[in-house]
Every structure is written in structure tokens, then in C-alpha cells.
A and B are shown apart, each in its own frame.
Chain A
Amino acid sequence: MTRPWALLRNSWRQLTSMRTALTLLFLLAIASIPGSVFPQRNVSAQQVSDYYQEHPDLAPTLNKLGVFDAYASFWFSAIYVLLFASLIGCIIPRLREHWQAVRMTPPEAPRRLDRLPASAPAEETDGTPAEAAARIRTMLRKGRWRVTAREQDNGSWTVSAEKGHLKETGNLLFHVALLSVLAGVAFGSWYGWHGNRILVAGEDTAFCNSVPQFDESGLGARVDEADLPGFCLELTDFQAEFLDTGMPSSFEATVTVEENGAVTAGRRFAVNSPLRLHGASVHLLGHGYAPIIRYTDRYGVSQERVTPFLSTDSMLTSDGVAKFPDANVDPATGQRQDDQQIGFQGIYVPTMPENGMVVQSVFPAENNPGLTLIAYRGNLGEDAGVPNSVYSINQAQIDKGKLTQVGEAKLLKPGESWTLDDGSTVTFVGTRDYATIAIRSDPGQLFVLFSSVLGLIGLTLSLNGRRRRVFFRITAADLRESSTTTSSSFMEAGGLPRTDYPGFADEFAQLVAATRPGGGTAEGTE
């Protein structure tokens, strides 16, 4: 019965020792490294799948080890859980001790003050020992020392004073703040959520906050799809400014927000200055162009697509596709013909070079736009149940010969049309801007900020605080043979720095000088 108990107590003692804390800190540092070396799912799922492509043998094993979600992996969690257990075990007894230490009166002066690291030999001072003790006490109180004066059996007095409990207070505050940061982070990850989305300008492409409307999203463990606050955003304007070199200098998006039944137009947000809504904030991450492509099929039916093209370089050369699976439906039969679907693969260039290659933009703004299209006819492979990218043509269908290219690639300027071999036409109508936005809610973050600021305050107190004690002994003059008068006493002093404190000798000397009759004040440091 006692054995497991002893074992438990022993392991707990081990866990809460400083050596263990050090080891765990080190392990935490080392365990943080893989996450910076390998791509992380929560940072970029794309890079993880690229890694799978490049290292098909290694990737599954790494995945099993949790390397691609390093900071949520069992090994990383195990280390910080142990560290925080150790931390709790470490601070609880220290809190108790500190509480007692703060309430305790400073201890009695040691017998031999001259043995202390700092000391001042006995010298004559004014008044009886009681008067001198009272004077010293008042002076120390003014300097915010914690003071006790004690009368001794032989009529002499001692004054003990202590300062610097703030150091330990700060240290405990810092460690408690670490715990509360962790609590805040955990709370935020349970109750927070986020989603990313490309928001194309225009009413028909407005966005309403719900999971299916996100391109990519993540909900905390305690968040249900129905919990997301309902609001809608319509991008009404996008301003991008670029330097002559093509480097962006500012981005600003303007949206119309519908929130809680109220519609507000003209709300702006920019990189670094998010749009704060109730329960979520909207961050501007990037921008690009969505070409508008109209296809009029051989029966004269027109359809229009506005598809965001993804940029492939800093000059916003962008590529994407426009697919028309419902094209060329014979109005007589109403039957969809699977081999008559049409899709266009395109490269959009906001500023074409004066001459030379058209496939690469020379400037990110739309100074001389051009859209190069390749047309494909056949079965787009949309219905096969395989998830199909909205950004590319299904290569498998091309390989199988079910989808074939029609004619050559064709360059169109805005407003231009291209007539295909079957008499159908495709028109490049123009473009719309789009903004890449991230919508996030982290209900823990203010709490985390608050805790870290507290922690910083605690840390500063802890690192700059110095605990020290000073003692005075005042003996009546008539107790000493060398005395000349009866209305004076002898005072000796000693001081003990309890933490590394090179300036203590100076402070002590000043204090002693101040206790002498006519001495200065003892405004000490904390």
C-alpha cells in the first residue's frame, strides 16, 4: 500500500525538480525544430502534398510520426504537458512559502553582525537605544523596508529590516502567467475557427459566412458549423498600388457588410488593418484577377464565367480555367452531350510586354492586359465523382483522348472574341479584382495577450529585484566602558544580500550613513 504511494511521491518530486524542468525545456526546444524543417499542414497543405510527391517513400512514415502537424503531435504535446505539470508542482509550494515569507516579520539580528557580508562597526549615536531604534525604524519604513524593532533582555535594541520580496512575487507571477497563456491558447483553439476564401468583386460573388462557402477552413474542437456568426461580405472595390519595380506598396479592399440585419457599405480594410466584425475579423492576405469569359455555343446560347486565376509570379501572371459543362445542349432534345462540353485553359497577363513573350507579365497592374486561351472540347470529366480542381483542366481526360484541344492557343484582349471551328465564340469580356481573405475568430487571444503582459511585468520584477536584509544593534552607552555620556548609544550594523547584487555595499553604506545623527534620507531602490 505504501510502496506505490512512495513511488508516486518520488516521481512527483523528480518531476518538479529544477533539473527536470531544465531537461524538459531543452526537449521542448529540440522538439520544436522538426516543425521548422518540414512543411506543416496548418501553414501550407500544398507544401505538404508537394513533399509527398518529392519523397513518396519517406512521407507516409513522417506523417505517422506526426511530423507534418508537429505542434499538435503526441510527442510535442507530451513534452509541454509534462513541463506544465512540473511547473504547477513547482509553483504551488513556492506560492505557499512565499505567502508565509511575506507575512513573516524580519528575523532577529544575528549575534555577530561583523560576520555578515556587509557590516559597519559600532559608533556612537544620539538618544537612548529605544529612541535610536525608533528613529532607524522610521527611516527604514520611509525607504519601504519591512522593519521590526525588538528590545533585548539587556536593554539593547535590534532593528531587522528586509526588502525585495517583489523579486519572488514577480517570479511567481511570471510562471503563473505562463500557465494562463497556455490556458488562453487552449481556449482559443477549442472555441476559435478560421476560413480562407477568394472573394471576387461583385454582388453575384458575395460571400456569406458558412463553412461550405470557404475554400479552406478549420473549426475548433468545440465549434459547430451552426455557431459561426452570420454575416455577408461583398467586395465593391479593390485598390492596389505598385511601385515602378512592380513591388506592391499598398492594398485596400472596400466591402459592403451585412451583419445582424444591418447593411453597411464602404467598409475598408487593408493588409495590417483588418476589418473587425462581431465575433470575427477579416484579414486581407492578397489579391488577383478573375477574367470574365463568355461562351456562346453553336446553338447561340451564351454563358458567362468569372473565375479567379491564381498568380504564378510577383507580376501577377495568373492561370486558371473556365469550364462550360452545360454547353452545346441541343435545344431540340434538351440532352446534354458529353463529348461536346467545352473548357478553356488560360493564362492572364495584366501587362503584356511591348514585344516578346506574351505568357509573362511585366507589371502587376492592368496596363496592357491579355488573355491567352487554349480550348478543349469533349468530356471534362466533371461527373466522375472524382474531386475536380476548379483551377485546372482534367489532365486524365486529355490523356484518355476524351478531351481534345481545338485549334491553337489564342491571345485575346478585353472585348475581343474568338470563333471556334464549330462557329461557337468565346469572348474575353474583362476582369474583376479579387481579394484573398482570411476570416478568423480566436476568443482566447485577448486573454493570452493580457497574460503575456503580466508575465513580462513579473519577469522584469524577477530579474531586477534583489532580496536583502539589514540589521542594526543599538546598545546603551553605559553598557560600554568607553562611553562618555549617558544620553547616547552605540550602533552597529550588518547587511546580507540574499541574491546576486553587486551594488549592495553602496546601498548599505548609504543606509548606515543615513542612520547617523544628521544623516541623509534612505530612499533606496526597490
Chain B
Amino acid sequence: MAELSDQLLVVTVLAYLVAMICHAAEYAFGTKSHIGRAALRPERELVMSGGPALVEKSSDPVAEAPNPWRSVLIGRAAVALTGLAAAAHIGTLITRGIAAERVPWGNMYEFILSATFIGIAAWLVVLVRWPNLRHLGLFVALFQVLLLGVAGMVAYTPVGPLVPALDSAWFIVHIAAVSTSSGIFLLGAVPAVLYLMRAGYEKGKRSFPYTLAKNVPAAAALERLTFRLHAFAFPIWTFGALIAGPIWAEASWGRYWGWDPKEVWAFISWIVYAGYLHARATPSVKRNVATWIAIIGFLTMLMNLFGVNLFFGGLHSYADV
């Protein structure tokens, strides 16, 4: 079972990678309704293709009139592959759980697997509700490949049982809530970054990072999605990290809060995301400033997932990656 889980992880990462390439292909040759129209405009535009090479598009008569049918097919394939990757992803988790005979949340590696799975599940929900956001899939898949890749490389831990301190009902509640909200926060960074690029693009910026946002949905839609995801994840994070976690810590160590590095960074993320919600609710604060705060929040989450465990250690036995 344990080997199966490890192999499934490879399958998962590869499937996300292929999904990403399909999204990129659709992106490059793309003709999503309004992009198709844009692509037919007689402008000279630089477009990223699947590879690192930049091709000049409008001078190429073949690409001049892209085949919508083909590109829609590629787009569908990308979504299907993402679904497949998500299936392999949960398979990785389940086989891991079976191998360890417990919930697969016993160490940092498993935790990242869970959080990223929640992220992809939330993404699929977003896709069902707002299918026209499909083009963000490229970035979502890129994200998954990076996070899972790093998890597999630096955080991998062989299958093992829970140490006594983790063997508690509150621990399960705590981790379930924290991984759910982490996953959604992580996903929220995708529209946040794209919003910043897209908003720049809509203002007429045509330099490198902004051009990437040429084909993504309108800035206002991205901004709203960013907010929705963060506003959804925030109370769950509050519950998981600041209520369930302390309840468990009290039973286990005798104090509900002790400024352990892991706790500190959970608190920092909470404060930063509260700052984001404040900034967004304040009319005098510009939306892109608010969104930058969300991105800082994302960086603190990365610190939570990888940094604290690698640099600081502390009481959380997760620390030993």
C-alpha cells in the first residue's frame, strides 16, 4: 500500500503536469470566445506557447484563424486531466491512510498532500459554478505540480503511526479544518496573482508579466473570486487554527496557546488575512493593495507549510521532516 501511494503521487504530479500543458496549449492557440476575437485582431502579439519559446503569432497565417474546435477539445482535455489528477491525488491519500492505518494527517508530507487536495477539490467546485474561469486552470495545475513536487522532495516521510500526542479526536478536527482552509487559501492566491496581472493588462500595460493575463477572465471577476475564496476559508482557519488547535494543545500539553513557532505562524497568517478582509472592506484602500495583502498571506501560508518545519522545529512533531 505504501509503495502504491508513492507511485500514485508520481501519477498525480504527472497528470497535473499534462493538464497544465493542455491548458497552456489551449492558452497559446486559444480561441475562447472573446480571446478568439482578440486573436483575430490584426495586431502583432507575443504569445507564450507550451514551451519556453515565444512565437510571433499574427504573422503566422496558420495561427491567424485558429481552429476553435481543436482548442475547445484541448481545453476539455485539460479539465478532464485535472479531474483525473485529482482522483489520483485522493488515491494517494487513501492508500497512504490504509498503509498507516489512520487518517493520513500524521506528518507534514501528508498534511501538504491533504491541503493541496482540498485546493484542487475547491477548484473543481469553482469550475462547475463558473465554467468560464477555466483558463485559470493552467495556474492551478502549475501550483499543484510545484507544491506536490516540493512536498515529495523535501517533506517526504515514510509511512508510520501517529505519535501518542497526535492520537486524539481534537487533533483530527484540528487538522481537517486547517488543511481545508489552507487548501482554499492556497487556491485563492491563484486568482489574486492573476487579478494583479490582469488589472495591469486592462490598464494597458503590455510588458512581460501582464501579457500573461491576456486570456484570463476580467479583473473584476478575478477579484471577486479571490475575495470569495478567502472569505470562505477565513472562518474555517479561525476554527481550525485558533479554536480546535488550542483545545487539543490544552489536553496534550496543558496550555492552549504557547507561542510555539507553528502557532506563531498560524497566528501571523490569521492576522494578515484579517488585514486583507479589512482592506477589502475599506473603500479608501485600493483593491490591488488589498490583493497584495492576500498574497502576503499566501507567503505566510508557505512559511507555515514548509518554512516552520524546516527552520524552526518546535513542539509540533510534524517538525521532523
Contact = CB atoms under 8 A, between A and B. Distances in A.
Given A28-B271, A43-B259, A463-B231, A272 B254 contact: no
Contact of A272 (B167, B258, B274): B167
A19 B284 contact: yes
Highest count of chain A CB atoms <10 Å: which of B164, B167, B308: B164
Highest count of chain A CB atoms <10 Å: which of B167, B227, B259, B261: B259
A251 interface: yes
Interface stretch (A356-364, A407-415, A442-450): A442-450
Interface stretch (B39-47, B149-157, B190-198, B239-247): B239-247
Nearest to B315: A43
Contacts of B258: 42-43
A196 to B, nearest CB: 9
Contact of A459 (B161, B235, B254): B235
Contact of B252 (A40, A271, A442): A271
A25 B168 contact: no
B164 A18 contact: no
B160 interface: yes
Given A22-B285, A71-B259, A453-B243, A194 B278 contact: no
Contacts of B253: 283, 285, 438
Contact of A18 (B260, B272, B278): B278
Contact of B161 (A249, A283, A500): A249
A25 B259 contact: no
Contact of A247 (B161, B243, B264, B277): B161
B161 A21 contact: no
A474 B315 CA distance: 68
Interface string B224-237: 10010001001100
Contacts of B224: 500, 502
Interface string B264-288: 1101100110110111001011000
Contact of A29 (B160, B271, B315): B271
Contact of B165 (A18, A71, A272): A272
A337 interface: no
A448 to B, nearest CB: 7
Given A22-B278, A247-B160, A456-B239, A43 B260 contact: yes
A249 B282 contact: no
Interface in A409-453: 438-440, 442, 445, 448-449, 452-453
B256 interface: yes
Interface string B285-321: 1000000000000001000000010001011000000
Contacts of A274: 251, 254
Chain A, interface residues (CB within 8 Å), range? 35 or more
A524 interface: no
A7 interface: no
A35 B300 CA distance: 15
Contacts of B54: none
B243 A456 contact: yes
Given A449-B243, A456-B238, A18 B163 contact: no
A285 B279 CA distance: 42
B202 interface: no
A389 interface: no
A273 interface: yes
A270 interface: yes
Chain B, interface residues (CB within 8 Å), range? 35 or more
A460 interface: yes
Contacts of A250: 164, 167
Contacts of B268: 29, 32-33
A36 interface: yes
B255 interface: yes
A245 interface: yes
Contacts of A58: none
A166 to B, nearest CB: 15
B250 interface: yes
Contacts of B250: 445
B264 A32 contact: yes
Contact of B275 (A25, A273, A438, A439): A25
A104 interface: no
A326 B278 CA distance: 69
Interface string B76-110: 00000000000000000000000000000000000
Highest count of chain B CB atoms <10 Å: which of A18, A71, A453: A18
A271 B160 CA distance: 19
A36 B261 contact: yes
Given A32-B271, A248-B163, A283-B252, A22 B279 contact: yes
A281 B247 CA distance: 14
Contacts of B171: 272
A272 B238 contact: no
A56 B239 CA distance: 42
A226 interface: no
A313 to B, nearest CB: 13
A243 interface: yes
Contacts of A21: 278
Interface in A150-190: 185
B164 A248 contact: yes
Contacts of A449: 243, 246-247, 256
B250 to A, nearest CB: 7
A462 B268 CA distance: 21
A32 B254 CA distance: 22
B221 to A, nearest CB: 10
A332 interface: no
Contacts of A32: 264, 267-268, 271
Contact of A35 (B239, B252, B259, B282): B259
A272 B161 contact: no
Given A249-B161, A272-B248, A456-B239, 15 more contacts: A22-B282, A29-B272, A33-B264, A35-B259, A36-B259, A185-B257, A247-B161, A272-B167, A272-B251, A440-B254, A440-B255, A449-B246, A452-B243, A456-B243, A460-B235
Complex A-B, nearest 7 residue pairs according to Cβ-Cβ distance, in ascending order: A283-B254, A36-B264, A36-B261, A271-B164, A272-B168, A440-B254, A29-B271
25 contacts: A19-B282, A21-B278, A25-B271, A25-B275, A29-B300, A35-B264, A36-B264, A36-B265, A40-B259, A43-B258, A43-B260, A185-B257, A245-B160, A247-B163, A271-B252, A272-B251, A272-B252, A273-B251, A274-B251, A274-B254, A440-B255, A445-B256, A452-B243, A456-B239, A463-B235
Interface of B: 160-161, 163-165, 167-168, 171, 224, 227, 231, 234-235, 238-239, 242-243, 246-248, 250-261, 264-265, 267-268, 271-272, 274-275, 277-279, 282, 284-285, 300, 308, 312, 314-315
